[in-house]
Amino acid sequence: MELQVPDVPLLKIFSFLDAFSLLQASQVNRVNAPHNLLSVGLCLKKWSLCNFSGCLGSQTWKRLFLQQTKLEHRMAAVKPEDFLFREASGNLGILGPMAYLSGCGHTVGAQEKSVLCTVSSKHKLYAWDVQEGTMIWSSPVQQSSIMRLATLPQMHLAFTVDLEGTVKVWNCQDEDALATLTMPWTCFSLEICLTNDGPFLMVSNAEGDIYTLTVPELRGVSKVNAFKYSVDLLHCSPDKKWIFASGTHQNILPVVFLTESLLKPSEGKSPLSLSIPFSSCCRACWAPRRTSRITVMYRRGSCKKTGFTTFELMAKRMGDRTDMQARQIATFLLPLHMESPIWMGVGDGNTVVFESGPSLFLFTISGHLLQRFEDHQRTIGNLWVDPVHVLTTSTDDSLHLYMWDEEGRYPHLKSCCHLEHVGNDPAPSW
């Protein structure tokens, strides 16, 4: 007996399946037609940080999904020989912020390259071939220290802002910047927003202003004054619908803008925005797969109690106006004896991961402890969270890799490997 369901509702039904169930369903001929569209959604949700426009080529999204899934399984069973260790040499100064310029999408000849950008205390921007461990490009010495770095792998572009507020766009091939713009105040945040209308760069400054600029020309699109103080945090939601802005000042309430109103400003009208009733924000993360959900980390009171609050955002069109709402769905405080975290990330929207001293914690957004890891001897100095991995580095020169496992009611983390750099050993030990 064949169930006669049109493709559109069928796509909606199958969009709730996990990857394994979807692959099982795809064996039925009736499902094969819409399956490629579902593979697009799965790829973009799970590996949203990848530049698929460059690595898709002539293959189908289904084949790409299978290829990426196979790679993910290999990482879960990673061995020491699968890692590359490269040490930068020369008088480079102290290396600061870094970001991927290209990964799966940058191909040279027949070989795929991963390129990493980093800035130096020598007032320079560098590009590195990760596999070879070699510098492939460096900028001229800049007049002032480079304070912020952002990249757009889809266009192989890097963006910098220096201490004097000069914003520059680099292709990391030519000596000169593609475009330069000097801002009136010191800049605190850079955020790339890649939309259907093209890429845009958002820059915030010490006066509480947010500038939206075209890429790569750096022409002004809009300017909005969000706060009386500096905008320290600027985050675009995964679906590019929302822009979260906040300062770390205790009197500032975070603001969420509708991205469209910043990209297409109406003359005489303020951009559509909503204040979130939670002050003293110090970090915030959008849920990668629940694109209207954001978790905020805050510190309050004389004891600097640390807490996490999660909001669900909604925008409803009502005639010629749009009504925005933020609904608090969960909140919790950390125990006073726990060392306040510096870094945080989110899983599927129902979990939050953060460090505290040398430990890594996974909580539900309601405050239920799911996991605690003690894989480092000293304080965790940095934390990276994406839809596939969690990576921690410590002041003891060690690195630990975890991977998300989505089986069960809540996703949990699997410890994969631990690397240490011991003494003068030229390679990390297992």
pLDDT computed for residue 94 by the predictor: 67
pLDDT computed for residue 320 by the predictor: 78
Cα torsion 125, 206, 296, 362: sign: positive
pLDDT band at 109 (very low <50, low <70, confident <90, very high): very low
Identity of residue 375: D
Q: Is the pLDDT of residue 200 over 90?
A: yes
CA distances 250 to 54, 253, 426, Å, are: 43, 8, 46
Q: Is the pLDDT of residue 34 over 50?
A: no
Q: Is the pLDDT of residue 1 over 70?
A: no
Q: Is the pLDDT of residue 236 over 80?
A: yes
Q: Are 260 and 310 in contact (CB under 8 A)?
A: no
Which residue's structure tokens are 């945040």?
189
- What does the alpha-carbon distance between residue 356 and residue 343 come to, in Å, rounded to a whole number? 9
pLDDT band at 49 (very low <50, low <70, confident <90, very high): very low
pLDDT computed for residue 349 by the predictor: 86
pLDDT tens profile 341-384: 999 999 888 999 999 999 999 999 999 999 999 999 999 999 99
- What does the alpha-carbon distance between residue 366 and residue 297 come to, in Å, rounded to a whole number? 13
pLDDT computed for residue 266 by the predictor: 82
Residue 95 vs residue 141, higher pLDDT: 141
- The alpha-carbon radius of gyration of the chain (Å, integer) is 22
Mean pLDDT of the chain: 81
pLDDT computed for residue 54 by the predictor: 46
CATH number of 142-420: 2.130.10.10
pLDDT tens profile 150-198: 999 888 999 999 999 999 999 999 999 999 999 988 888 999 998 888 8
pLDDT computed for residue 197 by the predictor: 86
Q: Is the pLDDT of residue 201 over 80?
A: yes
Q: Where are the domains of the chain?
A: 142-420
pLDDT computed for residue 24 by the predictor: 65
pLDDT, mean of residues 9-20? 64
Q: Hey, what are 307's tokens?
A: 């807490």
Residue 51 vs residue 345, higher pLDDT: 345
Give me the percent of the chain exceeding a pLDDT of 70: 73
Residue 279 vs residue 391, higher pLDDT: 391
pLDDT computed for residue 192 by the predictor: 93
Give me the percent of the chain exceeding a pLDDT of 90: 45
pLDDT, mean of residues 251-268? 88
Q: Are 158 and 173 in contact (CB under 8 A)?
A: no
Q: Is the pLDDT of residue 400 over 80?
A: yes
pLDDT tens profile 270-309: 889 999 988 889 999 999 878 899 999 998 776 778 999 9
Q: Is the pLDDT of residue 29 over 70?
A: no
pLDDT computed for residue 33 by the predictor: 43
- Among 84-93, 169-178, 196-205, the minimum mean pLDDT is found in 84-93
pLDDT, mean of residues 239-253? 87
The 3-state secondary structure of the chain, one letter per residue: CCCCCCHHHHHHHHCCCCHHHHHHHCCCHHHHHHHHHHHHHHHHHHCCCCCHHHHCCCCCHHHHHHHHHHHHHHHHCCCHHHCCCCCCCCCCCCEEEEEEEEEEEEEECCEEEEEEEEEECCCEEEEEECCCCEEEEECCCCCCCEEEEEEEHHHCEEEEEECCCEEEEECCCCCCCCEEEECCCCEEEEEEEEECCEEEEEEEECCCEEEEEECCCCCEEEEEECCCCCCCEEEECCCCCEEEEECCCCCCCCEEEEHHHHHCCCCCCCCCEEECCCCCEEEEEECCCCCCEEEEEEEECCCCEEEEEEEEEEEEEECCEEEEEEEEEEEEECCCCCCCCCCEEECCCCEEEEEECCEEEEEECCCCEEEEECCCCCCEEEEEECCCEEEEEECCCEEEEEEEECCCCCCEEEEEEEEECCCCCCCCEC
pLDDT computed for residue 131 by the predictor: 78
Q: Phi, psi (5° rounding) for residue 168?
A: -135, 150
Q: Is the pLDDT of residue 429 over 50?
A: no
